[in-house]
């Protein structure tokens, strides 16, 4: 079985490309990087745990995509340009085939998101645990924070919601079938962090968050941090035809509202910037849907056909058994 140093040398060192201000990559006590001038750095760390965030039999290539996609999504939500990644990987054994699949996915995802692997730690343990720490740059004063939503702002979401939840259902119940099963599976396994959208929204959005726990939970965080309330219309949540071909309308609506892990962006902006949003949508070829409005108060009100909507299921995924 290869040793820790051989794993780093043979799998991760070739992936750790010298790029984007990387002065010294994998192989010393630390990596050395040169931060861009006039920019703040955005930093986030995310962990995926076997049996909690992914099934034990997940393909290692998909796992690498999912780990990077979900991490880079936090940079997108800040309007940051991805720069550097460090990776901590705990594995029960040094399975060369698994590592080879994992690094193949990692390499492709690094390329896709234009982020450089600069360091890592490989350890043994009876459970697969992967932590990705990502950093990106954003011009001073232009970061998209959660706390800037203003009363009267429109609330937007990108793409379509609930697809990832349907993809998880397909994974857990292989007997399920859907006309566009592949699309839904990919939405779960290989999320698309909205990097370009985040960057385009600098100076336009007043607040932003990525949808990891579910729209209602995440929009709730944003409103709470901004000290405001919000109303959204359930029927206005963007849903894909793939989702509707997979389940009934009520289920599709629930998953769009609470499903989680879509890694779309939810953001607010003044109504006066509506035409800017339309231009960004056209430029990126990405659906951007107004789903509600920010108001005075502290509650998130969800309406369906003019009535208050009570969600019969979870309001978002939480660890340590705190699901509601």
Window 217-276: residues binding a second copy (CB under 8 A)? 225
- What do you get for the CA distance between the two ends of the chain, in Å? 44
Chain positions 42 to 71 lying near a second copy, rule: CB under 8 A, are: 42-53
Q: Which two tokens stand for residue 315?
A: 């309001």
Mode of pairing for the β-strands spanning 300-304 and 265-269: unpaired
Q: Which of 138, 195, 277, 300 binds a second copy (CB under 8 A)?
A: 138
Q: Closest separation between CB of residue 60 and a second copy, Å?
A: 17
Binders of a second copy among residues 89 to 118 (CB under 8 A) are 90, 93-94, 118
Q: Which is nearer to a second copy, 162 or 198 (CB)?
A: 198
HSE at residue 321, side-chain half, CA atoms within 13 A, is 0
Q: For residues 75 and 161, which CB has a smaller minimum distance to a second copy in the complex?
A: 75
Using the contact rule CB under 8 A, the part of the chain among 81-89, 153-161, 239-247, 289-297 near a second copy is: 81-89
Helix H or strand E segment including 107 = helix 96-113
Q: Residues 289-318 vs a second copy: string with x where CB under 8 A? A: -----------------------------x
Closest CA relative to residue 203, chosen from 105, 280, 98 = 280
Q: Is 80 in the site for a second copy (CB under 8 A)?
A: yes
Nearer to a second copy, 12 or 183 (CB): 12
Nearest Cα to 136, choosing from 128, 148, 144, 124? Answer: 144
Single residue of 121, 271, 278, 299 touching a second copy by CB under 8 A? 121
Residue 318 CB neighbours (<10 A) = 12
Residue 237 Cβ vs a second copy, minimum distance, rounded to whole Å? 21
* Dist CA 24 CA 10 (whole Å): 18
Question: Residues 14, 55, 100, 125: which binds a second copy (CB under 8 A)?
Answer: 125
Q: What are phi and psi of 188, to 5 degrees?
A: -80, -45
35 touching a second copy, by CB under 8 A: yes
Among 27, 227, 250, 313, binds a second copy (CB under 8 A): 27
* Whole-number CA gyration radius for the chain: 20
Q: Output the six-digit token pair for 276.
A: 């800017």
For a second copy, give the closer residue by CB, 308 or 324: 324
Total of chain residues touching a second copy, rule CB under 8 A: 74
Q: Which of 13, 58, 129, 204 is the binder for a second copy (CB under 8 A)?
A: 129
**Whose Cβ is closer to a second copy: residue 94's or residue 204's?**
94
Per-residue x/- track, 146-165, a second copy (CB under 8 A):
xx------------------
DSSP states along 186-203:
HHHHS----HHHHHHTTT
Q: Which C-beta is closer to a second copy: that of 99 or that of 257? A: 99
Q: What are phi and psi of 129, to 5 degrees?
A: -135, 125
Quick check: 153 and 268 in contact, CB under 8 A? yes
Handedness of CA 262, 264, 266, 272 (dihedral sign): negative
If one asks whether residue 13 binds a second copy (CB under 8 A), the answer comes out as no
Among 69, 82, 120, 238, binds a second copy (CB under 8 A): 120
Closest C-alpha among 161, 157, 156, 154 to residue 253: 161
Applying the rule CB under 8 A, the residues between 164 and 203 that interact with a second copy are none
* Choice from 56, 174, 306, 321 touching a second copy (CB under 8 A): 321
Q: Could you give the CA distance from residue 192 to residue 189 in angstroms, rounded to a whole number?
A: 10
Distance of CA 148 to the CA centre of its chain: 20
Does residue number 84 form part of the binding site for a second copy (CB under 8 A)?
Answer: yes
């Amino acid at each position: 079985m290869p040793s820790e140093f051989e794993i780093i040398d043979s799998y991760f060192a070739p992936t750790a490309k010298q790029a984007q201000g990387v002065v010294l990559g994998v192989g010393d006590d630390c990596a050395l990087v040169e931060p861009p001038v006039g920019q703040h750095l955005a930093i986030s760390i995310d962990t995926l745990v076997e049996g909690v965030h992914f099934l034990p039999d997940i393909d290692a290539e998909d796992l690498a995509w999912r780990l990077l996609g979900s991490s880079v999504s936090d940079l997108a939500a800040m309007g940051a340009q991805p720069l550097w990644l460090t990776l901590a990987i705990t594995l029960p054994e040094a399975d060369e085939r698994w590592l080879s699949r994992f690094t193949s996915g990692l390499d492709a995802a690094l390329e896709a998101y234009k982020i450089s692997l600069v360091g890592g730690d490989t350890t043994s343990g009876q459970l697969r645990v992967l932590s990705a720490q990502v950093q990106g740059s954003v011009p001073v004063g232009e970061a998209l924070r959660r706390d800037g939503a203003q009363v009267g702002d429109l609330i937007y979401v990108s793409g379509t919601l609930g697809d990832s939840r349907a993809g998880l259902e397909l994974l857990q119940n292989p007997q399920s079938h859907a006309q566009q099963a592949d699309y839904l599976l990919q939405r779960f396994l290989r999320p698309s962090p909205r990097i370009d959208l985040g960057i385009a929204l600098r100076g336009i959005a007043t607040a932003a968050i990525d949808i990891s726990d579910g729209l209602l939970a995440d929009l709730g965080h944003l409103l709470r941090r901004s000290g405001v309330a919000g109303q959204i219309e359930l029927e206005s949540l963007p849903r894909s035809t793939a989702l509707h071909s997979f389940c009934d309308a009520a289920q599709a609506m629930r998953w769009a509202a609470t499903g989680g892990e879509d890694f779309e962006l939810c953001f607010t902006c003044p109504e006066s910037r509506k035409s800017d949003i339309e231009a960004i949508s056209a430029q990126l070829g990405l659906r951007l849907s107004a789903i509600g409005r920010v108001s005075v108060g502290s509650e998130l009100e969800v309406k369906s056909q003019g009535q208050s909507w009570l969600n019969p299921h979870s309001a978002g995924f939480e660890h340590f058994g705190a699901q509601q």
